[in-house]
Amino acid sequence: MGAERRKRANGEESRERILDAAGEIAGERGYQGTSIALVSARSGLPASSIYWHFTDKDELIAAVIERSFAHWLEGVGTWLPPKTDSTRRARLVSGMRRTAKALAESPDFLRLGLMLALERRPEELTARRLFLQVRAQAYKRLVASYETLFGDELDKAGARALATLTMAAADGLFIAREIGDSDAQFEASFELLASAILGAADHLASRIDRSSKNRIIRAR
């Protein structure tokens, strides 16, 4: 039984080494420039070991994205802290800070995913499809958070609009960090984004309020 546990532990350790190497190489060279041979050289493991864990490069990169996204979710945790005595702004800033920190610590899924999302290939890659799935999951969580944060002030369309704005801005801030922004600038930009979201929410709420008043006037 001890030998079986050691074998399983060795297999898990090898898998992690392979994923680490693949994430590094794909971040440097992109999907096209990543190869099993390069991953083998970087990880120090034979190609046969890589193929034992993964069918092909596509499945390997998909696993890199999946692992990184799981780590990001763990880092973000409960995106909005409990209401308690916190102001809406304090709760939103707290969520944005955790988002920035988690992205800085687990960037692979977004770095590789954005590369793949912009590519147009005759055949859909498993890795690209997986990224779009995890992105949809993150979007759904964000919409639910905004519905909780803003309550009856925003309708579902408003919460979705804020979530779309947030993800688009986060993508841009992440790219700026990849180009050269420091982690301190990255976190500060996400705090600024919190202010922008609050302003956008106020704008959307006022539109909803005006629309409701117009309906009441027309009904009289």
Pair 1, 103 in one domain: no
What pTM, to 2 d.p., does this model score? 0.83
Interval 139-167: pLDDT, tens: 999 999 999 899 888 999 999 999 999 99
User: For residue 64, what are the contacts with CB-CB under 8 A and spacing of at least 6?
Assistant: 19, 22, 23, 26, 108, 109, 112, 127
Is the pLDDT score of 218 beyond 60?
no
- Percentage of the residues of the chain whose pLDDT score is greater than 90: 67
Q: Please check whether residues 13 and 105 belong to one and the same domain.
A: no
pLDDT at 183 over 90: no
Does residue 214 have a pLDDT over 60?
no
Could you tell me how many helices (H) and strands (E) the chain has, helices first?
Answer: 9, 0
Same domain, 50 and 100: no
Task: Give yes or no: residues 172 and 190 share one domain.
Answer: yes
Last residue of a domain, one of 38, 54, 70: 54
One domain for residues 70 and 46: no
Whether the per-residue pLDDT at 19 is higher than 80: the answer is yes
Instruction: Point out the domain boundary residue: 54, 74, 90.
Output: 54
User: What pLDDT, on the 0 to 100 scale, is given for residue 217?
Assistant: 38
Mean pLDDT of 41-61: 96
Confidence at 38, pLDDT banded by 50, 70, 90: very high
Q: Give mean pLDDT, residues 171-178.
A: 95
Write the CA distances from 141 to 47, 161, 174, 195, integer angstroms.
38, 14, 19, 20
State yes or no: pLDDT of 6 exceeds 80.
no
What is the DSSP track for 183-201?
A: HHHHHHHHHHHHHHHHHHH
Claim to verify: residue 135 and residue 188 sit in the same structural domain: yes
* CATH classification of the domain holding 49: 1.10.10.60
Q: Look at the chain and report how many structural domains it folds into.
A: 2
The answer for 55, left when phi > 0, alpha when psi is -120 to 50, beta otherwise, is alpha
Same structural domain, 209 and 181: yes
pLDDT (0 to 100) of residue 158: 94
Task: Report yes or no: 41 and 79 within 8 Å, Cβ to Cβ.
Answer: no
Residue 211 has pLDDT above 80, yes or no: no
Task: Please check whether residues 65 and 26 belong to one and the same domain.
Answer: no
**167 within 8 A of 142, measured Cβ to Cβ:** yes
Same domain, 64 and 135: yes
Same domain flag for 86 and 188: yes
Domain span including residue 34: 1-54
Q: Say whether pLDDT at 3 is over 70.
A: no
Q: Kindly report the CATH number assigned to the domain that includes residue 88.
A: 1.10.357.10
Q: What is the per-residue pLDDT for 8?
A: 60
pLDDT greater than 60 at residue 67: yes
CB atoms within 10 A of CB 89: 12
The pLDDT value given to residue 83: 66
Same domain, 32 and 117: no
- 81 and 5 in a common domain: no
- Which of 12, 37, 54 is the last residue in one of the domains? 54
Predicted confidence at residue 207, as pLDDT, reads: 76
Shortest CA distance to 146 belongs to which of 198, 99, 101?
A: 198
Q: Across all residues in the chain, what is the average pLDDT?
A: 87
The yes-or-no verdict on residue 212 having pLDDT over 60 is no
